[in-house]
Amino acid sequence: MEVFDAISAKFNYWIYIIIMMIGLYAMMSKNNLVKKLIGMSIFQTAIILFYVSIGVKEGATIPILYHEQVHPAHDSGHHGSDTEHAADEHVTAHATDLHIEPDQFTNPLPHVLMLTAIVVGVATLGLGLALTQKLYREFGSIEESEILESIKSAK
Amino acid sequence: MKTLSLIAVVITGLLLLSAVHDFPDWADPESPASDYRLSQHYITQTFPETGVPNMVTAVLADYRGYDTMFETVVVFTAGIAIIGLLRRSPSSRNKDKGKATRTYKKKPDLIVDTTCRLLIPIIQIFALYVIAHGHHSPGGGFQGGVIFGASFILITLTRDLQAAQKWVPEKRILNLAGIGVLLYAGFGFACMLLGDNFLDYAILHKIMPATPTEARYHSMLGVEIGVAFTVTAIMFSIYSNLASNGEMKETL
Amino acid sequence: MIWIFDLITLIFLVITALISLQVKDLLSAAMVFGVYSFLMCLLWAGMEAVDVAFTEAAVGAGVSAVFLIATVLRTNRRSSD
Amino acid sequence: MIEQSPAIIVLAPFLFSIIVAIVGVKREGICFPLVLLSLAITVAASVATLIQVVDTGPIRYWFGGWEPPMGIELRVDGLNALVALAVSIVSLLTAFYSKRAVPAELPDKVSQYYTLYLLLVTGLLGMVLTGDAFNLYVLIEISALTSYALIGMGSKRATLAAYKYLIMGTIGASFYLLGVGYLYIKTGSLNMVDIQGQIVANGLLGSPAIIVSFILIMVGVWIKMAFFPLHAWLPNSYAYGPTTTSALLGPLVTKVMIYVMIRMILTVFSPEFAFIELDWNNIVVWMSVVAILAGSISALAQTNLQKMLAFLIIAEVGYMVGGVWLADDMGMVGAIYHIIADAFMTLCVFLFAGIILTKTGKRDLSAMEGLFKKMPLTMVGFLVGAFSLIGIPPTAGFFSKWYLIQGGISSGQYEYVVALLISSLINAVLFFRIIEIAYFGTKPAEGHGHHHEEESAEGVTEAPFSMLFPLLATAALLLGIGLYNKEVVAIITDFVSQFNFGVIIP
């Protein structure tokens, strides 16, 4: 059981490395330009998986406060009729006696970072595909070796 | 080349593996990333400081708002770059030995057409809900924007590009995207003009009928809407450029 | 989260990644890549990263795959490797 | 307003890029003045920031008013402020050059080109100023995406080069991101200064994860700066892109990445860790020796002017990486001074190459026959740049090499000194070959070289003012930085002296 625990404690990190290496190998060795880009996306998602794994916390839930924490039961009835200003006083007043246990929620920071990384990933993928189409328009092929050959023969 | 890259990949993999035993256990609540005051501060102080229950949204749009502004810029950059790389006027096509001169799509299939007519308004309403409700549930400007953009992509797929362009004409795409980024930056510059640092939304309570905490809350909604504008426009723009090979005329 | 579920998803991730890189038809590769992204999204939802999972579902499984398909149909469907 | 100046440096080009994108589509004529205006604001803000830093010490600017590590900060010290000033001046001068070049080379894409141009500058300046490790990644990606597009808009070959750059650049940036992840898993922080504090406080200096993170970040940054074995993307990208792109990317991208390397070593990992704990100085200095020699020798083999200059950049990257890893304060001062000097000398020669290409339409060295008579002012500007690359006083290049050599001697890395001297010699051969062609023609021995030159350089006249002005201004700046090297070095020494480089390797 101890060996089993040792494996289960880290296997996420191992598999992220395997996926990442699959992607990296495809990026470097594939001949087809679209395949390279698929490899690139796999490579990037593997890094995102790594970051998300950092944020996981035993016994914690998603990083959104419970409804009861935001709107305590005793004033939920007349909350809707509050004026804007009173609502804020209510928030600050009740924020002071709000008890949020740090252990209760997952770490939100890696999630924030990875939202950005996903966006960067799709932007890079789109740009790479645009370059692929431009290359196809100019050389009539999406195989790297064929493009290199046609450059050589054009010389 | 293949063996060389295999060697490089194996070396990198071993390097990465060699550090795994040094990591804290998976899902360990005592790990430095979870235990450090940064994470603790975000979890416990977000609601008192900003009034937003979804910590991810609050950290994204406020604490690390500068990052998110540039995330929007990345999307914008990709859109402009793809237009710059691929866009060309259809007339130049004739030189390309007239290959793949596809005719316009016939009238779409009845079932497909009706399904999409029913689905698209629902998708768009859901997208608006995701944007507006990002403070309380998963979602926000980016996700909502992608869904909204996807609804236009769906129109393009079932009808053709002209049909989708009735909603988002090509001339307007960059304006829409630019307005989104400007809206985000505008919140930042407004804070600057009022005498505080860039993106320090709290100072906006001077011009909003709100307290500083509420000003943060509402400004975050504002920047999320800006993000949504940009992402919607650019996602559609990227798709229509890729699918029409830069001619914006006929799609797949 | 349930670690069995986690492990199975991870193994399927590796399999789909390999398939999408090995298959010679690029359209299938794009589709399998969509499956890969969706599995990734499930995994993250299981890890309590709901916002990230949502984004990946919209971006990775949705828009990225559509971009790939658009390009494949505009260029060449066959791949030499 | 003065306390906002660090933010304005980044935000001015950013804001104007969006305006150019919206307004420029309909009125192409308005793009160029807007670009100049925004970059002029940036230069002014950089000057104000530098003065402030010299007077009062490092400035910290908290975005959103959140105290780091909760929020993101700009942290400006002597090093940042100098590099930011150099970056903004280079981009302003290149913008002048672009006035005629961009409409000529990319007729119906002017507004997109200028938008991307300003976004690239935004990304680079943001990288220089930021104090947050993850924010740096986002900005690396902005500058990378824009540069792929700026290169890819060029000729057919440029598209392939841009694609290769995209693959390599993504690997580099992802390695950097992964390195930051390894730092984050051990320290829980993203702010550079705070990471350093956590590493020291938790005694993590020897921990495997931190060492792997250091390797990943270094390899990632080396790919992005084209350090020798990882340089494959650079030559074609810079040689076949539009000339304005080469004149902007050549001087800036690699230098800013070297800045990032210095920032990572000094601020995040601390010199004690990088130079003493790991003790890889000898290996990296030898790698840089190989880079210098390989870059210079490959440059010697080129007949395409732009490609030759691109290989010179690889050699110059070797100078700076070696200078940093000498682990000696003199070497560090030299490397930082060389970042600034090299930005301007590379700009100078790339502007020259751009002028030659637009004027003669040829990329070959033979295009330069008889140019001394045809375009004397252009050649004067080029001569200053070439002398600086060779290292002839009183140009800036001489002083930077002087400090680098001093660093090499005092740290006992003589192989580096020798490589530096050989490379200067090769530069001299390269540039005197060009000067010879430009003065005498390709076949001086044949006797009728004069006649030959009349034929080939027919119709070539002096470059227009918008191209000549940036070239001559750069030349003047090179002389200026050289003559006032004491002042510049004083700022750098002030910055470097706060770090302890520990024992000098015997």
SS3 at position D492 = helix
Q: pLDDT tens, D146-177?
A: 999 999 888 888 899 999 999 999 999 999 99
Task: Name every residue whose Cβ is closer than 8 Å to that of residue B32 and which is 6 or more positions away in sequence.
Answer: B24, D185, D186, D187, D188, D198, D202
Q: pLDDT tens, B65-109?
A: 899 999 999 999 999 999 988 888 765 544 444 444 454 555 678
Chain C segment 16-75 residues within 8 A of A by beta carbon are: 17-18, 20-21, 26, 29-30, 33, 36-37, 40, 43-44, 47-52, 55-56, 59-60, 63-64, 67-68, 70-72, 74-75
- The residues pairing with D26 across neighbouring beta strands, listed in sequence order, are none
Q: Give the number of other Cβ atoms within 10 Å of residue B7's Cβ.
A: 10
Query: CB distance A131–D163 less than 8 Å?
Result: yes
8 Å CB contact between D277 and D204:
no
Q: pLDDT tens, D315-368?
A: 999 999 999 888 888 888 889 999 999 999 999 989 988 888 888 777 777 777
| pLDDT for A91 | 53
Mean pLDDT of all residues in chain D? 86
Q: Does B23 touch chain D (CB under 8 A)?
A: yes
Q: Does D115 touch chain B (CB under 8 A)?
A: yes
Share of chain D above pLDDT 70, in %: 95
Amino acid letter for position D436: E
Query: CB distance B175–D22 less than 8 Å?
Result: yes
User: pTM for the full model?
Assistant: 0.92
Q: Give the number of other Cβ atoms within 10 Å of residue A59's Cβ.
A: 8
SS3 at position D62 = strand
For chain C, domain boundaries:
3-74
All residues of chain C having their beta carbon less than 8 Å from the beta carbon of residue A42 are 17, 20-21, 33, 36
Q: Which of B2-6, B87-91, D180-184 has the highest mean pLDDT?
A: D180-184
CA C50 to chain centre: 17
Residue-wise over B233-249: b if at least 16 C-beta within 10 A, else e? Answer: bbbbbbbbbbbbbbbbb
Query: CB distance A64–C50 less than 8 Å?
Result: yes
Question: In which residue ranges of chain C is pLDDT below 50?
Answer: none
CA-based torsion, D413, D417, D418, D422: positive or negative = positive
8 Å CB contact between D296 and D423:
yes
Chains B and C touch (3+ CB pairs under 8 A): yes
Residue D19, phi-psi category: left (phi > 0), alpha (psi -120 to 50), beta (remainder): alpha
| CATH numbers and ranges of domains, chain A | 1-58+107-155 (1.10.287.3510)
Q: pLDDT tens, B9-29?
A: 899 888 888 888 888 777 777
CA-based torsion, B1, B3, B7, B12: positive or negative = positive
Mean pLDDT of all residues in chain B? 84
Chains C and D touch (3+ CB pairs under 8 A): no
Task: Name every residue whose Cβ is closer than 8 Å to that of residue C22 and which is 6 or more positions away in sequence.
Answer: none
Query: CB distance B153–C55 less than 8 Å?
Result: no
Q: What is the DSSP letter of B203?
A: G
User: If you count residue pairs, one on A and one on C, with CB atoms under 8 Å apart, how many are there?
Assistant: 134
Share of chain D above pLDDT 90, in %: 33
Query: CB distance B142–C55 less than 8 Å?
Result: yes
Q: Does D38 touch chain B (CB under 8 A)?
A: no
DSSP-derived secondary structure for chain A: -HHHHHHHHHHHHHHHHHHHHHHHHHHHH--BHHHHHHHHHHHHHHHHHHHHHHH--TT-B-SB--HHHHS-GGGTTTGGG--HHHHHHHHHHHHHT----GGGB--HHHHHHHHHHHHHHHHHHHHHHHHHHHHHHHHS--BHHHHHHHHHHH-
